[in-house]
A and B are shown apart, each in its own frame.
Chain A
């Protein structure tokens, strides 16, 4: 789950343009609401009391290298898959696919990133790559963007990560290409066919609920560790946004136009080509933008399964806890993210400008541009093939210099500030985190399980209860109960902070257009960054602790949650606010009695998104000392004997994600239904 992928909120925002006081005025609704809160409080108190009395018993803790029950079975199956690969037809197919993909990737690497033996450089040298990138962006997104692109490419080379950057570009763009080739036809099918839509939508929902981390291990078993598996993971992760957004765009083509053009006797194919696709073009490009950003973030994480690219040096450095070394490749990832986001966003506007700008002669002009581009490209590629100066990326010591300076700063911080940062971290851990963990993970499993079920029922009703029951049973069965509860603790604690930020900044932005104008660009920028990037500065400040993962998770999840709340507050009918003002309500009263209650569904959606983002980041935080499930997954990649446990951890994460998602979703739906009834 990356911050760029926002799901359609499953509840409608409150209906605007009606002057109507927030719900709760109905006495019965109020009573039932109050009774529920009392019961909820009762459950929490009982949980704390019983948990404290029985603390430390039946917590199902297992040793770091132990593997029990179902995990052994999973490990054996994983071994079977690997051993039986020559006999099992299905595995042969998947391995065939990955062999094909691997050779394609290798070919691309020889083309632009790695030396193509016997040449000391790739076939298309540095100059050729930069010129192609420059022309491509100039044509698709305008000359301003092409300057940005060239600057970023130069930076990759000068910072000393040219090869890794190109590898990441290959994995990302290949995955985007596959996602678009598969996703757009699927989107058309979804838009045209109700049955297809009904089948595919829940699948996409589940795909987007899963934290990115959990894809890696199972897929690497099927497709073997390496570039191919990295691309496939990335495709699976980046496919949903383009399908969802493109089908949404196609479905929302103005029905009056569709009817008018139908009345002229167009065929279904003509409608698609001349009406639907052109009219949905901008939305489709937005979908491609989202898919690109999702692909980039997954492609960096795929470094865990030997996916080539900038993720590798980051993972190596984070493993060695050397923040300075992680900083420079991290910076390259940020540059790549900004570049891709800006270029794809500009491309959507640019296509319109081009089409409108110079009317009819633009096609001619474009033709000439293309010919000129082809000539320039050929010349540059020729130069790169024959002259070292054109093939070799410019090098500089900027990267190492920067890494050293950053390391110095970090050393300085840890020398002079370590008192302060570790005090913050320790205080937070002992005062807050440990207390919650004491109850959630320290209680007997059946106590915590029962408490979760009771809370699910009180919040989300019977459907939430059933979902929670299945997930709790699954977690128990997978044998990593204690780890799951530690992860759950971190997730809940981080989400509390995300929601505090969401309320404070969201309400502020929702009420003040100026605040919105100033803050929103930062949130947008934050949402384009892959989750990895967040670990680097937090690790520098707080060292390898659970607290680091929580801070990174809060930073990662907050932008999305804040935006959802801000939009929810903004959607509150201006008439209602005006009516409250005219009734003499104070500002604080307007916020607490009108705006927040009326934007309630936005808060549940924000909580839902916040929980899922936080979970995916907390899991990645396993890398920097957050332990628990995330650590088990990483250990599963690295140590063959722990593969079964790693798989179980992956499934446990999925169950946690589904459980949190279902409880919050059903809570939101119930809230919406109640509002309608009262």
Chain B
């Protein structure tokens, strides 16, 4: 999904002016000059810690929205504020238009039971229940009958590839499989929005890659809206339609993976993305230049959304520059130098 398409549709989740301040008289800080202080000074002056500072973003239906930041950046607090596992101090969280932050307990419970489900870093499975009963837990607490919830749970267990493990206990499964149970438990309630809180950080690198692919596969099948928290940039780039970068509780940048790589909002983000091979992420859009009269038009045509790495061989093999096409129109030219610069030199590319 492109960013234009996202901007056009009505958001599924819309967060506006969200704050979470821990400490005494937390609410009174918001709106005062204190709120703008850096964290250590705020702590010294007021004894409070602002974990989430004035965060706003929209998530479109079917979008995978990744929140990325280092530990302590407030990303886990942010995702918990979305269903008030941590009570936000100020701001609104609109789910299909209705404000979760302002809901009564009863309404909130209904949202948690039916609309939003979450997958946790440390799984949070019930050790005394078998896989089947763990997956059925959400259905059980919203009062669905045994037969119905077992039927649904078995379907989901098949879907996440745990068939045959229904009657195992969590401690008999590997970490990756436990997280599949966590995923199945969240999917079982057929939520509109799935929240992931660093779900794969506790797993081995290989298992992590499997699970990421699993999420991509499920997303292709189910088209669920996802908010995905991670501290791993490559995970964010791999999964995210858009990425929100957080630092010290504040939003630093929101954009598509390519935007973040190609146009980092500040030195912090630039530093972050410096290790990422640009040619693996960026498309021709980011390295093309306007057509000049002297350009040869003999070269190959390529779509504007082609990843540079995939374009490289054909472009370099041709003696003429690549013609970049968008919607059948010639929109720019990419010459060998531009390709080489992003593949080999990895130096700054301006959009």
What residues of chain A have their CB less than 8 Å away from a CB belonging to chain B? 254, 256-267, 270, 274-275, 278-279, 281, 355-356, 359-360
Contacts and interface: CB of A to CB of B under 8 A. Distances in A.
Nearest to A355: B128
B118 A256 contact: no
A263 B108 CA distance: 10
B145 to A, nearest CB: 16
Contacts of B117: 263-264
B106 to A, nearest CB: 10
Contacts of A356: 169
Interface in B97-121: 108-114, 116-118, 120-121
B137 interface: yes
A266 B125 CA distance: 14
Nearest to A351: B128
Indicate the member of A261, A263, A264, A356 with the most B CB atoms within 10 Å. Answer: A264
Interface in B63-94: 83, 85
A366 B114 CA distance: 36
Contact of B127 (A260, A270, A279): A279
A264 B111 CA distance: 9
A256 B126 contact: no
B169 to A, nearest CB: 7
Given A260-B118, A260-B120, A260-B182, A265 B141 contact: yes
Nearest to A267: B109
23 contacts: A254-B127, A256-B121, A256-B124, A257-B124, A257-B125, A260-B123, A261-B141, A263-B83, A263-B85, A263-B112, A263-B118, A263-B120, A264-B117, A264-B141, A265-B110, A265-B111, A266-B141, A267-B109, A267-B141, A270-B141, A278-B126, A279-B128, A359-B167
Contacts of A261: 124, 126, 137, 141
B211 interface: no
A236 B109 CA distance: 41
A260 B127 CA distance: 13
B122 interface: yes
A240 B121 CA distance: 37
B308 interface: no
Interface of B: 83, 85, 108-114, 116-118, 120-130, 137-138, 140-142, 167, 169, 182, 185, 189, 195
Contacts of A270: 141
A264 B138 contact: yes
Those 6 A-B pairs whose CB atoms lie nearest each other, nearest first: A260-B124, A265-B112, A265-B113, A256-B122, A256-B124, A264-B138
A281 B127 CA distance: 12
Nearest to B129: A278
A274 B141 contact: yes
Contacts of B114: 265
A360 B28 CA distance: 55
B137 A264 contact: yes
A264 B128 contact: no
A263 B116 CA distance: 8
A491 to B, nearest CB: 45
B126 A275 contact: yes
A637 B122 CA distance: 59
B122 A264 contact: no
Given A264-B113, A265-B142, 5 more contacts: A257-B126, A261-B141, A262-B112, A263-B117, A359-B130
A360 B166 CA distance: 12
Contact of A262 (B85, B111, B122, B126): B85
Indicate the member of A265, A267, A278, A356 with the most B CB atoms within 10 Å. Answer: A265
A281 B169 CA distance: 17
A254 B178 CA distance: 15
A400 B110 CA distance: 71
A327 B126 CA distance: 50
Contacts of A267: 109, 141
Contacts of A274: 126, 137, 140-141
B119 to A, nearest CB: 9
Contacts of B111: 265
Contacts of A262: 85, 112
Contacts of B128: 278-279, 281, 355
Nearest to B119: A260
A254 B127 CA distance: 10
Contacts of A281: 128
Contacts of B138: 264-265
B152 to A, nearest CB: 14
Contact of B124 (A254, A266, A278): A254
A415 B311 CA distance: 107
